[in-house]
Amino acid sequence: MATWKEETQSLAGSDLVMIRGGSGKPLLVIHDELGYTGWMSWNEELAKDRELFIPLQPGFGKSPRQDWMWRHRDLANYYLNVIRELGLEKPDVIAFSAGAYTAAEMAAANPELLGSITLVGPMGIKPDKGEIFDIFACTIKTCLRQTVFNKEAKEYSEIYGGEMSAEQFEWFEDARAESARLGWEPYMFNPSLPDLLRSAKNTKLPTLLIRGAEDAVVPEDCIRKYQDALPQAESVSIEGAGHRPEIEDSAAFLAAVKKFLA
């Protein structure tokens, strides 16, 4: 089993709590709007030949909130500075949901700094058909139910089963609050992003788009819009999975990611 550790570093002007594990070429993992859910089997698998860097987003309970961050674009530029200060050489980035929105902003701001981006159930671009599910207008439990299609997935119950402790509740609320600060309006998209991605298009930044075929949070049209903005992107749809394909069908998810990163 790969070893992983949680460490706090002063990076890009603030303390940042980071999960690091595995060894090999750097892989930056950007978690979603609900926060880091722990070291899962897919982390373990990727850590066999990659060093995973998983920053815990500022304001999500562990890394201190940065008052100057108003938009995903601000967070993206913060992470780009983290990459610079860590001295990571063209890391691949894999990012989820609102985290994928952040990763897309990173690619738009400085595609040359990145090796590739894998966007899983990406928010960030307004779909023409359908709506990005409003995670702020539902209870925590409803939000989780909406997120996962395959509720029989082993890791779904491992993450969310049982009682929620007071500490977990607080982290969850921290995550929701910070996600609202960054993405309340416009709701989880940047109208400029498709145009800003021209830089990533021109540099042909390798891009993989992954979506669970039953995703009830991010409409399929978001993928089409990303595909329009980034014609070089490969796209994978995972049958029988919702918004969390990495835990709902880890095998299919890992197969797609490993093939792309190979």
What is the total count of residues that contact other proteins (CB under 8 A)? 23
Tally of CA atoms within 13 A in the half-sphere of 192 that contains its CB:
8
Cβ at position 93, least distance to other proteins in Å: 26
Q: Is the Cα torsion angle 141, 144, 146, 148 positive or negative in sign?
A: negative
H or E segment and range at residue 225: helix 220-229
Cα 219–chain centre separation = 16
165: helix, coil or strand?
A: coil
Q: Which one among 31, 50, 72, 176 touches other proteins, defined by CB under 8 A? A: 176
User: Which part of the chain contacts other proteins (CB under 8 A), choosing from 114-122, 175-183, 220-228, 250-258?
Assistant: 175-183
User: Which part of the chain contacts other proteins (CB under 8 A), choosing from 8-16, 91-99, 181-189, 190-198?
Assistant: 181-189
Could you give the string, one character per residue 93-132, with x where binding to other proteins holds by CB under 8 A and - elsewhere?
Answer: ----------------------------------------
Cα dihedral angle (142, 35, 178, 173), rounded to 10 degrees?
Answer: 50
- Residue among 78 and 171 whose Cβ is closer to other proteins: 171
Cα angle 83, 73, 92 (rounded to 5 degrees) comes to 35
CA pair distance 223, 238, nearest whole angstrom: 13
124: helix, coil or strand?
A: strand
Closest by CA position to 115, among listed 36, 53, 48, 72? 53
Cβ at position 139, least distance to other proteins in Å: 5
Please list every residue from 125 through 164 that binds other proteins, using CB under 8 A: 136-142, 145, 164
Asked if 166 touches other proteins (CB under 8 A), the answer is yes
- Residue among 1 and 137 whose Cβ is closer to other proteins: 137
CA pair distance 38, 52, nearest whole angstrom: 13
Cβ at position 97, least distance to other proteins in Å: 15
Could you give the string, one character per residue 184-203, with x where binding to other proteins holds by CB under 8 A and - elsewhere?
Answer: xx------------------
Residues that bind other proteins (CB under 8 A): 136-142, 145, 164, 166-167, 169-170, 173-174, 176-181, 184-185
